[in-house]
Amino acid sequence: MPSQRRASDVSWSSYRDSIGDRSGLFEGLVDRWPVDCALYLGSYVDLSPSVAIAAVTYVDVDRRAARFFADAQRVAADLQGRARPGAATEVKFLDADFTAPLAVAARSVDLIISLFTGPCWDECERYLRAGGLFLANASHGDASLAALDARLTLVAAATHRDGVYRWNTHDLDRYLVPKKPAAAEVEAIRAAGRGIAYTRPAFAYLFRYEPEPAPAPAPAPAPAPV
């Protein structure tokens, strides 16, 4: 949870002091997968995606986050000298609850981010394009639920050690293996409000989304015999 500060003191630079700098996570991501537009659910004031991604929409109900993003000069100052060329061209904020419909076009984003957010996939899947990416961790159950969705395929796992993020795309079958297989049950994860324990944990998991194909049209009825 964000540390308790006066709203006027909230900034990304101060927030980094409590959670660390996640910029490397997103720089490594865009080095491997093309992402131009992202949606960050439960973002608070974590601007790290904008270091590497051109357009990011941040979503939160925290009033301190709303005040921070309303101050364009403060946002720009926090990103100055940190954003890559071509990144941070669009920084938007929605003061909204992601469990309700958002002012985001359907199938319009390349990446949905859910880090310490809480289950959001069912409500926000509509915004991700086919072939897009879902980044989640297991803290509040997001990655654990994603692992059980047949439309999502694990493509990478991110580790974090000594302040450095690394993306692993090999031996992915070693990740998301429950210590207790019986715990991998959708309703149980939702009720607990947290992820399940895995034999090989990672900081976050990246899934590729492939919607279920539309059902084939019913065959035309055979002509009546003459």
What integer best gives the mean pLDDT of the chain?
Answer: 92
Convert the pLDDT of each residue in 6-15 to its tens digit.
545 789 999 9
Place of tokens 């301190």: 64
Place of tokens 């015999």: 225
pLDDT at 4: 46
Name which of 104, 181, 194 is nearest 145 in CA terms. 194
Looking only at the bridges linking them, the beta strands covering 164-168 and 204-209 are unpaired
Alpha-helical runs (H) found in 91-209? 121-124, 142-146, 186-192
pLDDT at 7: 46
Convert the pLDDT of each residue in 101-121 to its tens digit.
999 999 999 999 999 998 999
Q: Could you tell me the domains of the chain?
A: 8-209 (3.40.50.150)
Cβ(69)–Cβ(75) under 8 Å? yes
Check residues 130 and 224 and name the one with the higher pLDDT.
130
Task: Give the C-alpha distances (Å, rounded to integers) separating 89 from 6, 27, 51, 52, 69.
Answer: 28, 16, 10, 10, 15
pLDDT at 118: 86
What is the model's pTM? 0.89
Cβ(115)–Cβ(204) under 8 Å? yes
Sign of the four-CA dihedral 14, 18, 23, 24: positive
Query: Residues 209-217: what's their mean pLDDT?
Result: 72
Alpha-helical runs (H) found in the chain? 12-19, 23-32, 63-70, 72-79, 121-124, 142-146, 186-192
Q: In what order do the strands lie in the sheet with 128-136?
A: 90-95, 55-60, 37-41, 109-114, 128-136, 204-209, 152-161, 164-168
